Amino acid sequence: DADVTQTPRNRITKTGKRIMLECSQTKGHDRMYWYRQDPGLGLRLIYYSFDVKDINKGEISDGYSVSRQAQAKFSLSLESAIPNQTALYFCATTTSGSTDTQYFGPGTRLTVL
């Protein structure tokens, strides 16, 4: 079984809809991250969490919110989706005792029409 899972893997939605992307991990890591990947722009950090009570904005947090329901679960929400949020979204985890090598989930391909 995969250590970092993301649901859904693909999603097509319409402008204005609320969307939630979910991430679960079985690695026992305390740190979790949400990135988006766009062609030509690479990976950009949206939000990150160092533990259940810690939430931090990343480089591009506008239009997004997150929830850390448990150490193993980190959800990303788009309150009112817009077309320029069409992208690949990745969840990643690491442990504070590591050298910051992050482990990525398989990604969610989101299309906003």
Partner 1 sequence: QKEVEQDPGPLSVPEGAIVSLNCTYSNSAFQYFMWYRQYSRKGPELLMYTYSSGNKEDGRFTAQVDKSSKYISLFIRDSQPSDSATYLCAMTGGSQGNLIFGKGTKLSVKP
Chain residues that interact with partner 1, rule: CB under 8 A: 4, 33, 40-43, 45, 48, 58, 90, 92, 96, 98-107, 109
Q: Which residue, 1 or 100, is less far from partner 1 as judged by CB? A: 100
For residue 75, the minimal CB distance to partner 1 (Å) is 17
Separation between Cα atoms, residue 69 and residue 77, nearest integer Å: 13
For residue 100, the minimal CB distance to partner 1 (Å) is 5
For residue 59, the minimal CB distance to partner 1 (Å) is 9
Separation between Cα atoms, residue 32 and residue 40, nearest integer Å: 24
Given the structure tokens 């859904």, which residue do they identify? 8
Contact (Cβ atoms closer than 8 angstroms) between residue 78 and residue 86: no
